[in-house]
Amino acid sequence: MKERFEVPDEDVPQVAKALSSQTRWRIISLLRDKSMDVSRIAEALKQTEANISAQVKILERAGLLKSHYEPGEHGVRKVCEPAVKQVIINAVI
């Protein structure tokens, strides 16, 4: 996990969008310093796995989460963890 993620100007809209959702913010908070699979995240947040998967993709594209696949009880499971500890947006307005 990277300690700091300084967001370049051209990536600010994508990162801001990723951080603007209550659900995505709750996912980031839930995963702070640990990893969880999509099923457990969905269960903890009382949401569908499909919705959590879609939200995780947005967070991955923004560089805020990373994930990998592991064997599970019924096939494979997608395990997510934070990609960074701190996000710094240094945009000139």
Residue 75 has pLDDT above 80, yes or no: yes
Rounded CA separation 59/14 (Å):
9
Where does the pLDDT of residue 60 fall: very low under 50, low under 70, confident under 90, or very high at 90 and above? very high
pLDDT at 93: 72
Tens of pLDDT, residue by residue over 12-57, are 999 999 999 999 999 999 999 899 999 999 999 999 999 999 999 9
pLDDT at 33: 83
Rounded CA separation 8/76 (Å):
34
Structural domains in the chain, CATH included, are 2-87 (1.10.10.10)
8 Å CB contact between 65 and 82: yes
